[in-house]
Amino acid sequence: DTGVSQNPRHKITKRGQNVTFRCDPISEHNRLYWYRQTLGQGPEFLTYFQNEAQLEKSRLLSDRFSAERPKGSFSTLEIQRTEQGDSAMYLCASSYDPNSPLHFGNGTRLTVT
C-alpha cells in the first residue's frame, strides 16, 4: 500500500493557461474524490467517482473544471483558463467502500499569477 499519489506537487501558471493534475488512488479503492483547500480553511468537496463513473459534482465545480477517471484507475483534474481565484491546494482522496475512511494524497498546490 503506497498511499494516494498526486502529481505534480506544485504548479505555477499564468492566468488564462490550462493545467492538469493527476491522482493515483490506492489500488483496491474504487471510490475517488477531489477536494480543494485554501489557506486556513478545511477541504471543500469538488467531485466524486465510483470506478469510472463521475457520480457527483459540487456547485463549486465551474464549467472550466473537468475531471476524468478512465478505466476506473487514475484520475485527472483539468482547469481551463485559470484565474487567480483558482490558487489553492487540490487534494485527491480514495476509499474502499462506503464504510471506509477517505485516504488523502499530499495534494497539488496551484499558484496562478
Partner 1 sequence: EDQVTQSPEALRLQEGESSSLNCSYTVSGLRGLFWYRQDPGKGPEFLFTLYSAGEEKEKERLKATLTKKESFLHITAPKPEDSATYLCAVQAWGNAGNMLTFGGGTRLMVKP
Q: Does 74 bind partner 1 (CB under 8 A)?
A: no
For partner 1, the binding residues in 33-62 under the rule CB under 8 A are 33, 40-45, 48, 50, 55-56
- How many other β-carbons are positioned within 10 Å of the β-carbon of residue 75? 24
Phi and psi at residue 14, to the nearest 5°: -90, 150
- Least Å distance between CB 26 and partner 1? 12
Residues 31 and 91: beta-carbon distance below 8 Å: no
* Nearest of 79, 6, 11 to residue 46 by alpha carbon: 79
Q: How far apart are CA 67 and CA 84, in angstroms?
A: 20
Q: Does 77 bind partner 1 (CB under 8 A)?
A: no
Residue whose CB is less far from partner 1, 3 or 16: 3
Q: Does 25 bind partner 1 (CB under 8 A)?
A: no
**Joined grid coordinates for residue 54:** 463521475
Q: Does 93 bind partner 1 (CB under 8 A)?
A: yes
Q: What does the binding site for partner 1 look like in residue numbers (CB under 8 A)?
A: 4, 31, 33, 40-45, 48, 50, 55-56, 91, 93, 95, 98, 101-107, 109
